[in-house]
Structure 1
């Protein structure tokens, strides 16, 4: 059961990271077109809208992968002086806390997306519906929350998160 959940979570993390990467490539292309267009007196209309909305995909699309590979900042000043059991408990607690925070982010943004949809809110120039991007943020936050919860469960069962090398970093 846990192995199947891990496999599903890994696939969702991969999908969200792929979408975030595609968003990053898109933003780079938009910026290049905008800069070249400005040079010739024809900036890309709506580039600010495109970049702003795509940043949601970039940041939250890569969040679950960042957690999976141990990319978050870790302050381990006292870790060497704590017993291994306490360090493990703190790792579990931090994963649970992170999971809860991302679930609250998802819930709050979901409520905001419903309001945006009801009020037909959109970007300034291109009139892109903001709710689309808010729903995407919700999905990415839920994926991150599930990934952190899975990490907490694995640590609680005494299993190591083999793709979480943060402890090996200097």
Structure 2
């Protein structure tokens, strides 16, 4: 089961890397076309906007499952003490609720976008599926946050970081 989760994670990471590569190549070609030939790539902003959303929201569950969100460690010594367990539970519950609310809002927005046939400006790409993907990603992140509240972050057994040994 765990190895399957890691295969899925590696697959998602590979797709994200390909999306980033596509964004870089598209932006490079667009700038070259705009500066040298005077003809930008039509719809490049739409494509870049959609690819960026896919990368960010595909990565959200991965970052959440690894407990790799940005944190401030100013009060770690205080919060890490055993009598502050209630605080860690409260923070975990808050993260789960906030991600759940964001997922719900994206579902509402996706339904509205489908109802009014919302599309991107240049290429007329429907926005509804993108909003539903964002909702799914936030819901999956909420589940990951709930899971790591009880089990701890998902760590790759094959991954050895030198900074962890310090």
TM-score (norm 1): 0.78
In structure 2, how many angstroms separate the alpha carbons of the residues matched to 1:31 and 1:59? Answer: 17
- Counterparts of residues 1-170 of structure 1 (less than 5 Å): 13-38=9-34, 39-82=36-79, 84-154=81-151, 160-161=152-153, 163=155
For the Cα contact (< 8 Å) 2:65–2:141, is it kept in 1? no
Cα drift, residue 126 of structure 1: 0.2
Q: Distance in 1 between matches of 2:148 and 2:121?
A: 40
Q: Kindly state the Cα deviation for residue 161 of structure 1 after the two structures are TM-superposed.
A: 3.2
CA deviation vs aligned residue, 1:6-26 (integer Å, no higher than 9, x gap) = 677656655544443332222
| SS across alignment from 1:124 | coil
- How far the C-alpha of 1:88 sits from its partner, in A, is 4.2
Question: Contact 1:106/1:137 (CA < 8 Å) preserved in 2?
Answer: yes
Cα distance change on mapping 1:15 and 1:111 into 2, 3 Å: farther
Q: 1:163 to 1:13 in 2, by over 3 A?
A: same
8 Å CA contact 2:99, 2:141 repeated in 1: yes
Greater alpha carbon shift after TM alignment, 126-135 vs 19-28 = 19-28
Instruction: Could you tell me which runs of 5 or more consecutive residues in structure 2 were left unpaired when the two chains were aligned.
Output: none
Task: Name the CA distance, whole Å, in 2 between partners of 1:50 and 1:35.
Answer: 14
Distance 1:104 1:9 in 2: 25
Task: With the length of structure 2 as denominator, give the TM-score of the two structures.
Answer: 0.79
